[in-house]
Amino acid sequence: MRIMTAIISYVRLTAMVCMFFMCIASPSVSADVLPTRGLREVNHSSVELQGGFWGLHQDIHHKVTVPHALDCLEKAGHVTNFDKAAGTFDGPLRGNHAFDSDIHKALEGALYSLQHYDNKPLAGRVESIIDRIVAAQQPDGFLISCFIVKDQAKRWENLRMQHQMYNAGHFFEMAIEHHQLTGDDKVLNAAKRFANHIDGIFGPGKRYDVGGHQEIELALIKLYRVTGDRRYLELSKFFLDERGHIHGKERKRFDPNTLPPHPPKVDHLPKSERRRALFLAKWSRRSGRMQDHKPLVEQDATGHAVRAGYTYSAMADIVRYMGAPDYAHALDRIWEDVVYRKMYITGGVGTAQYHDEGYGDPYLLPNNTYCESCAGIAHVLWQHRMATLKGHTKYADVMELALYNGAISGLSIEGDAFFYQNPLQSKGGKRSSWIGLACCPTNFTRFTPQVGGFMYAVGKESIYVNLYAAGTASTKTEKGITVKIDQQTDYPWDGNIKLTVTTDTS
């Protein structure tokens, strides 16, 4: 499949290069709230991927994927939905409940990319779309177009199926990158207003409930990092802790909203297996699809693989910022369940055995499988966080495996065609130039320019190299020593890697 065979042979036994510095200097200064455990990431903005495999991908992403995604989304009405919500457009409301998240994700990708490329026309286009989005924000901070247009009284109803939290989380992530690029607080303040609104409704002593599609959890931690407002970190932890519970302690009862919207297809199965397949599909929807059937700390890898990947990512961040040893133990168990029993040789995840775009039974990994692109991306994001939390090679290895094989297989080399599913075996399926349910294309738009941020991590007196790619990076050790790294390689096509490290003490 794609470049899989070539790449796997290059996956190295050790990904960690440590360099020790004995000098004493003052601590580094950063606006970022640093984690109290594990390693520190080197932000993508400090890493320039030049030439080679990833340099080329960054160029294509900037020149092709970003404008293509914005064109498709504008054409499909993702932006005019906000105009309608702001009262400046009289046309129809388009799309589904998750529609807002798609434009937030594409803008986030553009904002990542603009931190590396000087492109005034694109920057102007992005700014103008964002202004139209923020114009729809309500006085109390709420900002989801379809509810503003249709029925504000139903804003927070049916959280399982209507993606309110998912939309909000992607708005926060986009706003953070806008702030990183421009230094301007305009959009970040809009995100804070929306987050404060949510924090005013949900939490201990308020409403005990969770969204049906996780994402806000990891976005709130990012918002905490940028703003220093601990309420966002606490709210993220609340949403994670509350899964599998009602009102903080009781176990969740069966929720009819989690019934499958369409009965699974069973006609192709022998009669004796149909009842079991139907039962399992229903069971999965009722309980594990949204990782809400029991507390996260008691779960194995279950349910929708995108939701799962984002959840585990947030849990890993919570461990780094809050300790949470119960989350740390659960992540160890879930990681082994995924990597040893439920992950493809490509690093892809999610067999959709239970018709839920999710994890199936252990060791049951058929070739004509599902492996949604978003699940591959979420898997990489999680593995990156595990590598940063633990500083262990095995997480960086799985991240690399999934990055090259289970994730970017969904994006064409030309940057303008996408797979939703990434089976190991197909009958000649072709990537589509766009997908109406645009979660995967827009996820690629925001994922490719993040790759530089996965490459390095900083420990007490060491720098970790997670990935090999040509380019330069600059960071500071905890003791404040500036370290510049120049990496020359044609990896993954060639295994030779030359690292030149200089410090301000050398």
Residue numbers of the site for Zn ion (CB under 5 A)? 374, 439-440
State the nearest-atom distance from the C-beta of 373 to Zn ion, in Å.
5
* Three-state helix/strand/coil letters over 458-474: ECCCCEEECCCCCEEEE
Q: What tokens were used for 428?
A: 């000649």
State the nearest-atom distance from the C-beta of 306 to Zn ion, in Å.
6
Beta bridge partners of 310: none
Q: Which amino acid is at 149?
A: V
User: Of 289 and 476, which has the nearer Cβ to Zn ion?
Assistant: 289
Residue 502 CB contacts under 8 Å (≥ 6 apart), including other chains: 483, 484, 486
User: Of 133 and 407, which has the nearer Cβ to Zn ion?
Assistant: 407
State the nearest-atom distance from the C-beta of 439 to Zn ion, in Å.
3
State the nearest-atom distance from the C-beta of 441 to Zn ion, in Å.
8
User: Of 15 and 374, which has the nearer Cβ to Zn ion?
Assistant: 374
Q: Do 164 and 144 form a contact (C-beta atoms < 8 A)?
A: yes
DSSP E strand boundaries for 50-195: none
Residue 153's CB is within 10 A of a number of other CB atoms, namely 8
Q: What tokens were used for 269?
A: 């199965």
| Per-residue burial over 199-229, b = 16 or more CB atoms within 10 Å of its CB, e = otherwise | beebbeeeebebbbbbbbbbbbbbbbbbbeb
State the nearest-atom distance from the C-beta of 260 to Zn ion, in Å.
18
Residue 200 CB contacts under 8 Å (≥ 6 apart), including other chains: 206
Q: CA-to-CA distance for 44 and 32, rounded, in angstroms?
A: 14
User: Of 57 and 307, which has the nearer Cβ to Zn ion?
Assistant: 307
State the nearest-atom distance from the C-beta of 367 to Zn ion, in Å.
21
Q: CA-to-CA distance for 398 and 392, rounded, in angstroms?
A: 11
Best CA proximity match to 479, nearest among 29, 37, 39, 34: 29
Best CA proximity match to 211, nearest among 299, 304, 321, 79: 304
C-beta nearest to Zn ion: residue: 374
State the nearest-atom distance from the C-beta of 13 to Zn ion, in Å.
32
User: Of 373 and 477, which has the nearer Cβ to Zn ion?
Assistant: 373
Beta bridge partners of 196: none
- The values of phi and psi at residue 166, to 5°, are -65, -45
User: Of 343 and 440, which has the nearer Cβ to Zn ion?
Assistant: 440
State the nearest-atom distance from the C-beta of 432 to Zn ion, in Å.
12
State the nearest-atom distance from the C-beta of 176 to Zn ion, in Å.
21
User: Of 297 and 308, which has the nearer Cβ to Zn ion?
Assistant: 308
Q: How many CA atoms lie within 13 A of 110 on its CB side?
A: 28
User: Of 109 and 141, which has the nearer Cβ to Zn ion?
Assistant: 109
User: Of 220 and 374, which has the nearer Cβ to Zn ion?
Assistant: 374
State the nearest-atom distance from the C-beta of 372 to Zn ion, in Å.
5
User: Of 192 and 304, which has the nearer Cβ to Zn ion?
Assistant: 304
Distances (CA, A) of 90 to 57, 101, 243: 39, 22, 40
Tokens 């060791």 -> residue:
363
Q: CA-to-CA distance for 344 and 338, rounded, in angstroms?
A: 9
State the nearest-atom distance from the C-beta of 97 to Zn ion, in Å.
15
Q: How far apart are the first and last CA of the chain?
A: 45
User: Of 374 and 465, which has the nearer Cβ to Zn ion?
Assistant: 374
State the nearest-atom distance from the C-beta of 19 to Zn ion, in Å.
38
Best CA proximity match to 124, nearest among 80, 78, 188, 181: 181
> Which of the 8 DSSP states describes residue 162?
S
User: Of 21 and 171, which has the nearer Cβ to Zn ion?
Assistant: 171
